[in-house]
Amino acid sequence: MMKKVISVIALLTFLMTNKIYGQIPHLAGKIIISIKSGTIDAELNLRNLPKTDNYTIWLNSGLNIEYFRDGNNQFNYSYNTEYNTELSSEALQHYFPSNDRKSRFLPNSLIVKYTGKFPVIADTTKAYDWGDWKGNIAFNGQTLRASEQSAWYPIIYNKTDGIVIDKYTFDIELECSDCQTLYINGDKPQKAYKSNFKSVQAVPLLMFVGNYNFKEVDNIFILNSELDANKINTLTKTTNSIIKFYEEVLKTPYGKPVVYISSTPVSKKNEWMFVTYPTITVVGIDKYKLDNYFDDKTYQFKQKSNITFIAHELAHYYIGTKFVPNSELRWFFLEGLTDYLSIKAAKKILGIEIYQTIINNYINELKDFEPQQLNLIKLASEINDTYRYRFTPLFLLAIEQEIGEDKMYQWIESVINGESVKTNYDFFLSSLRDTGVTEKQIKLIIETYIDNLKSKENIINRIK
Ligand SMILES: [Zn+2]
């Protein structure tokens, strides 16, 4: 009897862990785009869906659903829709109610057909100052840029565990008759208006199609840029040296060749970089355009800070793609730890003076900031931008002073290669312990930098 109980528990544990992480969904089908009309038409077959009855299927709010059908194309599923902007402001969130309407079910495979028409903002004179972001479906007359955050393809959200499943293997037929070049993240760009895109490794899907050229140098692709060979040389050398640094200290390979996309905003003022591994997209005009990052005489970066930004985006492979933080300390890990790594890369590649300048700038920006104690954080949103991008990296540098650089890298290596768990405060401490940080050191870290009204001052004094 006892044996039976144990095997039932083992089976349940197996089912519960495999329910979420066990299988990777696969996306197949056809997508038709027009960059002149701003349209997306898709009929996609989604297979290997997770076994869950507590979920939603996200699709961008500008996409109109013609039908959800069973995977064998025999009948339609009726669906209900929610819109929880805390989870995604971009996507409407659909689900299939069970017959009694009391619960919901998710089949193992389904077909979804949808169509959407979006503004084509070729001229930004009437555009908003701010109104472009990673989750935007951006048609600018020449290209379409759509990342996984826009939910241009169906994304599964597991409500029980709060896990977004947006990384798929895929085999997609892409057609855009007014495009010259097509690209879906995970495969190589192609000079064609119609082509097949595949990935056997699960990646988040970023689509970038339109009238543009691309180059390949040193295993790096550069899309929609007119950079000359000398400037490209600077970009690829810098990129590869940052990757080499991360691979060495974290003892974890980067995996795929990096792709750069140069893109313009469909607003007047937005300029930023984002990553959808392994692609880094630089969105901006004038001095914020990738092509204008480099000096015409020396071919070097005009602003050293752009190297640090690239280092930050590259570090998101390890934190954000490989290791996906969640729970209360989501932003602490996702942006804070990523930024810590980028500062370390900057120190290695740009030298101690630039490193010191970065640190001093961060310290200045914390002048009026009063951090909530890490152990008291209850909501992910309590960790605001300053906390994420300024306070946390310095906090981690102070910990580094206590435990040493080697231990610090060992800790990050174990975190990024560990199992999917809730990344809360308990995890933060237990992961340090698992790396071999002593109880004495942990006590000191807590008493000096966490559970202390002068934690900010203590951090600054320690790293100055
Ligand atoms: Zn980031």
Length of the chain: 464
393 domain-assigned: yes
126 domain-assigned: yes
312 CA distance to ligand 1 middle (Å): 6
Average pLDDT for runs of 10 along the chain of length 464: 42 38 86 98 97 96 98 97 93 96 95 98 96 97 98 95 91 98 97 97 96 95 97 96 98 93 98 95 97 97 96 96 90 97 97 97 97 93 95 98 98 94 94 97 98 97 94
Q: Which of 166, 182, 212 is the last residue of a domain?
A: 212
Q: Which of 171, 187, 212 is the last residue of a domain?
A: 212
Q: Return the CATH number at 419.
A: 1.10.390
Please state, in angstroms and rounded to a whole number, the distance separating the CA atoms of residues 283 and 280: 10
Q: Return the CATH number at 52.
A: 2.60.40
Tell me the one-letter amino acid at 192.
Answer: A
* 173 shares a domain with 230: no
324 domain-assigned: no
Domain that holds residue 202: 22-212
* 158 shares a domain with 249: no
Burial class (CB in 10 A: 0-12, 13-18, 19+), 75: exposed
* 159 shares a domain with 128: yes
DSSP 278: T
Predicted local confidence at residue 22, as pLDDT: 56
334 CA distance to ligand 1 middle (Å): 7
188 domain-assigned: yes
10 domain-assigned: no
* Number of domains into which the chain is organized: 3
* 62 shares a domain with 170: yes
Cα 47 to Cα 40, 106, 120, 147, 240, distances in angstroms: 21, 11, 32, 21, 36
399 domain-assigned: yes
435 CA distance to ligand 1 middle (Å): 25
Buried b (16+ CB within 10 A) or exposed e, 164-182: bbbbbbbebebbbeebebb
* 243 shares a domain with 169: no
6 domain-assigned: no
Q: Could you check whether the bond before residue 278 is cis, i.e. omega within 30 degrees of 0? A: yes
363 domain-assigned: yes
* 78 shares a domain with 28: yes
- Judge whether 75 and 69 are in contact, CB under 8 Å: yes
320 CA distance to ligand 1 middle (Å): 8
Q: Which of 212, 229, 249 is the last residue of a domain?
A: 212
- Judge whether 114 and 65 are in contact, CB under 8 Å: yes
Predicted local confidence at residue 3, as pLDDT: 41
Question: How much is the pTM?
Answer: 0.89
Predicted local confidence at residue 86, as pLDDT: 81
178 CA distance to ligand 1 middle (Å): 33
Structure tokens at 461: 């004094």
Predicted local confidence at residue 5, as pLDDT: 42
- Judge whether 308 and 346 are in contact, CB under 8 Å: yes
Predicted local confidence at residue 187, as pLDDT: 95
* 62 shares a domain with 143: yes
Predicted local confidence at residue 163, as pLDDT: 85
* 26 shares a domain with 132: yes
Neighbouring residues of 274: CB distance < 8 A, sequence distance ≥ 6: 134, 147, 280, 281, 283, 313
Predicted local confidence at residue 420, as pLDDT: 79
Please state, in angstroms and rounded to a whole number, the distance separating the CA atoms of residues 231 and 76: 53
